[in-house]
């Protein structure tokens, strides 16, 4: 029977490869749906979803909202900046109050690592982690792998390099788990100050020379430099970072093969990636965004399926 092996989507760490395959297969169907003249199906008419964003987000929030609306779910939105969290309410109280309004699924982004796991143990609703601190961002990793599969046919056996600010990135960790689960090889590239100390225990290799990393890989996933999370200086200047780790046309041309370029957004144009690369044919950045809606529809649909009448 085709069902997810998990009750919540808290992280890629908890998934099996078969789960990822099922999500991709379902996403294929939804991708066809969102390209129809009327892009909506009635499946989740009797499901209510709460989007709880305790941290800023534009694209993930929009993407989740759109996915939920395309499935005909009722949705309520909540952002921490306008809420009683500021008045000192605890997470469980906030969520339980929202659940008393008969909510079936909670999509949550939270600045603290493990917030999703914590919540899943205390509340009676399906939890989808939309990013917890620098830990996991499972739907982003799923849409990244899905986009690689769409472009290259398969993820298995591909070499993927994740470039940049790995230390502050939840995208990196979820991507490492997802790619390895599907049989890809992962390398990390960036300034040593932005690479977590024990990253090699996850089975990834580290390369500090950008050119060598690009020569090795089939896909380069370029991360955003997260200035807002940097309380200390991790590199001398943005200019120096750009010179050593910025992706530009010259370095891509010098590699002599067509590497697929990805970026989870939002892009710091001219810092980690130049505009001509971000907008080139090699870049699948906008495909990632479109696929994000299909992937999130698939995840929500598959979890909603487990909620019995």
Partner 1 sequence: MAKKTLLNAKDIHIILHRLACQLIENHDDFSNTVLIGLQPRGIFLANRLIQILRKDYNISSINLGHLDITFYRDDFRRRDAPLEASNTTIDFIVEDKKVVFIDDVLFSGRSIRAALTAIQSFGRPESIELLVLIDRRFSRHLPIQPDYKGTQVDVINSEKVKVSWKENGEKDAVYIISDN
Residues that bind partner 1 (CB under 8 A): 1-3, 26, 28-29, 32-33, 36-44, 301, 304-305, 307-309
Count CB atoms within 10 A of the CB of residue 289: 16
Alpha carbons 153 and 266: distance in angstroms, whole number: 26
Q: What is the DSSP string of 255-288?
A: HTS--EEE--S---BTTTB-HHHHTSTTB-HHHH
Smallest distance, partner 1 to C-beta of residue 68, A: 14
Torsion of CA 34, 35, 37, 43, to 10 degrees: -30
Q: Which is nearer to partner 1, 282 or 305 (CB)?
A: 305
Q: Which is nearer to partner 1, 31 or 158 (CB)?
A: 31
Q: Which is nearer to partner 1, 1 or 232 (CB)?
A: 1
Q: Which is nearer to partner 1, 128 or 304 (CB)?
A: 304
Alpha carbons 199 and 205: distance in angstroms, whole number: 8
Q: Which is nearer to partner 1, 42 or 153 (CB)?
A: 42
Asked if residues 51 and 75 have their Cβ atoms less than 8 Å apart, the reply is yes
Q: Which is nearer to partner 1, 33 or 255 (CB)?
A: 33
Q: Which is nearer to partner 1, 46 or 240 (CB)?
A: 46
Alpha carbons 19 and 31: distance in angstroms, whole number: 18
Smallest distance, partner 1 to C-beta of residue 127, A: 18
Smallest distance, partner 1 to C-beta of residue 9, A: 16
Smallest distance, partner 1 to C-beta of residue 36, A: 5
List, in sequence order, every beta strand (DSSP E) within the chain.
Answer: 48-53, 74-79, 105-110, 126-132, 159-163, 185-189, 205-207, 219-222, 260-262
Smallest distance, partner 1 to C-beta of residue 63, A: 19
Asked if residues 216 and 233 have their Cβ atoms less than 8 Å apart, the reply is no
Q: What is the DSSP string of 94-109?
A: HHHHHHTTT--EEEEE
Residue 53 to residues 66, 173, 295, Cα–Cα distance (Å):
15, 20, 19
Helix (H, G, I), strand (E, B) or coil at 53: strand
Smallest distance, partner 1 to C-beta of residue 192, A: 47
Smallest distance, partner 1 to C-beta of residue 106, A: 18
């Amino acid at each position: 029977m085709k069902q997810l092996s998990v009750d919540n989507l808290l992280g890629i760490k908890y998934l099996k490869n078969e789960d990822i395959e099922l999500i991709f297969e379902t996403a294929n169907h939804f991708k066809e749906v969102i390209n129809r003249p009327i892009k909506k199906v009635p499946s989740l008419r009797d499901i209510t979803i709460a989007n709880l964003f305790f941290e800023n987000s534009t694209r993930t929030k929009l993407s989740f909202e759109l996915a939920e609306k395309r499935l005909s779910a009722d949705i309520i939105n909540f952002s921490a900046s306008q809420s009683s969290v500021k008045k000192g309410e605890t997470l469980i109280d906030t969520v339980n109050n929202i659940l008393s309004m008969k909510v079936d699924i909670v999509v949550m982004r939270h600045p603290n690592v493990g917030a999703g796991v914590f919540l899943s143990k205390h509340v009676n609703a399906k939890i989808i982690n939309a990013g917890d601190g620098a830990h996991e961002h499972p739907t982003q990793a799923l849409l990244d792998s899905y986009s690689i599969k769409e472009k290259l046919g398969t993820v298995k056996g591909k070499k993927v390099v994740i470039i940049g600010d790995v230390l502050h990135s939840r995208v990196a960790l979820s991507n490492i788990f997802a790619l390895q689960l599907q049989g890809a090889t992962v390398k990390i590239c960036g300034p040593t100050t932005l690479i977590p100390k024990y990253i090699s225990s996850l089975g990834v290799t580290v390369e500090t020379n950008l050119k060598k990393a690009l020569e090795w890989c089939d896909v380069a996933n370029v991360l955003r430099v997260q200035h807002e999370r940097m309380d200390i200086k991790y590199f001398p200047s943005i200019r120096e970072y750009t010179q050593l780790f910025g992706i530009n046309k010259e370095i891509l041309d010098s590699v002599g093969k067509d590497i697929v370029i990805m970026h989870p957004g939002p892009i710091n144009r001219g810092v980690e990636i130049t505009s001509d690369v971000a907008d080139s044919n090699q870049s699948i950045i906008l495909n990632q965004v479109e696929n994000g809606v299909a992937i999130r529809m698939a995840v929500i649909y598959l979890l909603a399926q487990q909620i019995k009448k």
